[in-house]
Structure 1
Amino acid sequence: MSIGILCALVAGLMWGLVFVTPLLLPDYPAALLSCGRYLAFGLIALPIAWFDRARLRELERGDWIEALKLSAIGNLLYYLCLAAAIQRAGGALPTMIIGTLPVVIAICSNLRDPRERLPWRELLPPLVLIAIGIACVNQVELTRLRAEGSLDAGRYLTGALLSVAAVACWTWYPIRNADWMRAHPDRHPRSWATAQGLMTLPLAVLGYGALGLVSLTPAGAAGLGVAMPFGPEPLRFVLLMLAVGLLASWVGTLCWNAASQRLPTALLGQLIVFETLAALGYAMVLRGRWPDAATLAGIVLLVAGVLLALRVRPRR
């Protein structure tokens, strides 16, 4: 349990980085950010795969197909939706909606898997605390955006819908990934993370190539808004893609796989709140100011909800 919780914490710290990357590259389209991140992830996985080739040979054809599905939905599609939502609605609304993942995953896991069901009576209080904490934190952010006059109703609604799509992708991914990890306890979390990186690589190459072809037409170049292949800030873009590819994708997936082998899915889903806390912390550092009282209160509620959830034990 302790190792699983620590692994989930590290994964959340790594995944929080993906929330600030679109803010650091506001001129880049979401499709280019998604393909760039996972192209870097796949390239980083190649040398790791060579050293881990013995374990990777143990994977069967069905395992590789499962890795491809997880990569397509949990990696490329999820980050495409998230990056586009952040660029359209700012950081507040997507963080609020993505922050509901602990609640959504816990409920879905409880409904689908009676073998490790957490008692609803004990699960409800931490879920309520997490939900209230998320609402507090993001209400402050929404108020700030209104005060700055930077709200656009159309873009805001589009950002909300894209955030919901991202939640759907990342509700499916951890549940499906945890099912595979527990069904294969003899598989190493590192090799499974590397396998997902390898299956992400061809998808990212195809996506990057398609964007390059689109940029060759006048209409496509105008739609992308940046010059291919690396945009207006090539060094900044490449370094950030390598950073999130290594830390958020490979290290984050490795730690999450390790947590998935050790924790029940309903509890694991609540620990995604670490990602929300990390994203908020990084955003505050990026702004260069401390959170106000309401934001701190929301963070305290989030942490209290997680600590309370850790006391709940599954009943078979």
Structure 2
Amino acid sequence: MWTGVGFALAAGLLWGGVFVGPLLLPDYPAALQSVGRYLAFGLIALPLAWLDRVELRQLTRADWVEALKLSAIGNLLYYLCLAGAIQRAGGPLPTMIIGTLPVVIAIVANRRNQLRDGRLPWGKLGPSLLAIGLGIACVNQVELQALRESGDMDLGRYLAGVLLALIAVACWTWYPLRNADWLRHHPDRPARAWATAQGLTTLPLALLGYGALWIASLAGWLDFDLPLGPRPLHFVLQMLAIGLLASWVGTLCWNEASQRLPTNIAGQLIVFETLSALAYAWLLRGRWPDALTLTGAALLIVGVWWAVRPSESQPNRASTSMDERCPSAAE
């Protein structure tokens, strides 16, 4: 279990970096940042596919279709909405809304996957969810107040950011549950090969998206200098860094965690992403967080600890018989 927690922590540290990426490239459209990131992810996956060629040959057509769905919704659509939300509403609000993922995923998984993972009593899950929810509220209260006081808030743009962040939550509630379905239903398949498979299926989607943006630019529908924009070196290096670290390595770490942890526990460990994103944002600002922010971070950590602690006494039900498992993702 603690190995799974360690992998979830590593994934959160890597994924937290994507929240500051759009702030470093504010003049680049969110759609371009999304397809650029996953184009880099797909290109990185090509040489890695040679290392995993034996495992990849074992994937069925249904497996590749599932990887394509996960890539389209959990990768491209999620990051498109997240980057758009951050550019429209600033970093704090999307971080707050995405920070509700541990609560949302835990509630959905506790109802959806109880036959496979067991069901945590709400009396034990409740305090953890409450602590996480209070922590998220505390962390973002100061940020939202600062946004109001700045006088720069455009209500229409702000609400568009809220809507995009909510769509991102829906995408990433669906993604880890479906991804865990496949991984837990195929415990003999290496998590690394599944991460590479998702990278390979992302590549054609990203190429199509990049081509559509280029056509839009040539037709005058998109006022932006493609293919690489005004800061090509900065853009390319950032996309490569995010594509390798957040997309491939982060997905690998999350797959390893998903094979070891029940989804109602793993879902709550996405809180590491929120903590990392906040830490990186404060580092980018060059300021130390105030007392309320630190209190919220402490509550998040307590909530995670409480979520993991009761699971030590529960058996890992990944190896239960086939008739006890949830239907496979391919179904």
Contact persistence 2:41–2:203 (CA under 8 A): yes
What residue is the counterpart of 1:260 in the other structure?
Answer: 258
2 CA distance for matches of 1:51 and 1:181? 20
SS in 2 for 1:312: helix
What residue is the counterpart of 2:229 in the other structure?
Answer: 231
1 CA distance for matches of 2:130 and 2:160? 27
| 2:22 matches 1:26 | no
2 CA distance for matches of 1:140 and 1:248? 28
Of 145-154 and 82-91, more deviation after overlay is shown by 145-154
Give the superposition deviation at 1:271: 0.0
1 CA distance for matches of 2:33 and 2:222? 16
Of 53-62 and 38-47, more deviation after overlay is shown by 53-62
2 CA distance for matches of 1:264 and 1:183? 13
What residue is the counterpart of 2:326 in the other structure?
Answer: none
Matches within 5 A, 1:160-239: 160-218=162-220, 220-222=221-223, 226-239=224-237
| TM-score for both structures, normalised by structure 1 | 0.97
2 CA distance for matches of 1:2 and 1:98? 24
**What fraction of aligned residue pairs are identical, expressed as a percent?**
70
* Residue number among 245, 248, 269 corresponding to 2:246 in the alignment: 248
**1:189 is matched by which residue type in structure 2?**
A
SS in 1 for 2:309: coil
Give the superposition deviation at 1:117: 1.1
**1:120 is matched by which residue type in structure 2?**
W
**1:252 is matched by which residue type in structure 2?**
G
Give the superposition deviation at 1:312: 2.3
| TM-score for both structures, normalised by structure 2 | 0.93
What residue is the counterpart of 2:321 in the other structure?
Answer: none
**2:287 is matched by which residue type in structure 1?**
R
| Aligned Cα root-mean-square deviation (Å) | 0.9
**1:191 is matched by which residue type in structure 2?**
A
**1:221 is matched by which residue type in structure 2?**
L
**1:155 is matched by which residue type in structure 2?**
R
Contact persistence 2:213–2:222 (CA under 8 A): no
What residue is the counterpart of 2:69 in the other structure?
Answer: 69
The answer for unaligned runs of 5 or more in structure 1 is none
SS in 1 for 2:310: coil
What residue is the counterpart of 2:328 in the other structure?
Answer: none
Give the superposition deviation at 1:221: 3.1
Give the superposition deviation at 1:264: 0.2
Matches within 5 A, 1:1-316: 1-115=1-115, 116-218=118-220, 220-222=221-223, 226-313=224-311, 314=314
Question: What are the Cα deviations for residues 233-257 of structure 1, in whole angstroms up to 9, with x where unaligned?
Answer: 1000000000000000000000000
1 CA distance for matches of 2:114 and 2:212? 44
What number of residue pairs does the alignment pair up?
A: 312
Of 111-120 and 237-246, more deviation after overlay is shown by 111-120
Contact persistence 2:18–2:246 (CA under 8 A): yes
**1:149 is matched by which residue type in structure 2?**
G
2 CA distance for matches of 1:150 and 1:272? 31
SS in 2 for 1:16: helix
Question: What are the Cα deviations for residues 137-167 of structure 1, in whole angstroms up to 9, with x where unaligned?
Answer: 1111101111211211111111001100000
Give the superposition deviation at 1:78: 0.3
2 CA distance for matches of 1:149 and 1:273? 30
**1:3 is matched by which residue type in structure 2?**
T
Question: What are the Cα deviations for residues 33-57 of structure 1, in whole angstroms up to 9, with x where unaligned?
Answer: 0000000000000000011111111
- Runs of 4+ aligned structure 1 residues displaced above 2 Å come to 312-316
What residue is the counterpart of 2:324 in the other structure?
Answer: none
Of 141-150 and 199-208, more deviation after overlay is shown by 141-150
Question: What are the Cα deviations for residues 244-292 of structure 1, in whole angstroms up to 9, with x where unaligned?
Answer: 0000000000000000000000000000000000000000010011111
SS in 2 for 1:128: helix
